[in-house]
Amino acid sequence: MLLRGPNGAGKTTLLRCCAGLLPVTSGTAEVLGIDLRTRRTAVRRRVGLLGHATFLYQDLTVRENVDFWARASGASIDDGVAALRRLGVAERLWSLPVQALSAGQRRRVSFASMVCRRPELWLLDEPHAGLDAAGRDTIDELMAAAAAAGATVLFASHELDRAHEVAHREVTIAGGVVEAAP
């Protein structure tokens, strides 16, 4: 599902609330059957958030980062390796520290760290940012495959032509208020 709206509308804030990172201060909010007002940290193991920050450890290697996130979520190391390959991260890069990578390579590694966890809910903030055409196509394929496998994919994007090809539904948000929810 595409989350669209102008800059400053509240898209990133909504994604962070859904991930249990920000408290819900009024109203009600439930994600995956979990009340975010009372148990927001309980949702975190079931959600994958990819924001503007990579959440990678810059001094660890590519492989160490993905292995860490795989183990932390209960996934296998093989899941991490498969994710790196699926994201097109060349094996020659796996032994490099993340700080030595380009922005696009870091984005791919960050995606691999999320994908290997197999989250039930994907929360993606500008998922195509910093990627070349092949990387963008890979992300679209991964989002479609995750949705086909039963995961929910919610992403914010300003690249509406591409986003409309991927999203089956969309929600518009402005000033922190959902304007349309089909």
Kindly report, residue by residue over 54-76, the tens digit of the pLDDT.
889 999 999 999 999 999 999 99
**HSE of 143 in the Cβ direction (CA atoms, 13 Å)?**
28
Query: In whole numbers, what is the pLDDT of the chain averaged over residues?
Result: 93
* pLDDT one-digit tens code per residue, 81-139: 999 999 999 999 999 999 999 999 999 999 999 999 999 999 999 999 999 999 999 99
Tokens linked to 164: 């409309």
pTM of the model: 0.92
Number of folded domains that form the chain: 1
- Domain span at residue 39 reads 2-180
The CATH number covering residue 155 comes to 3.40.50.300
- Checking if the pLDDT of 182 tops 60, the result is no
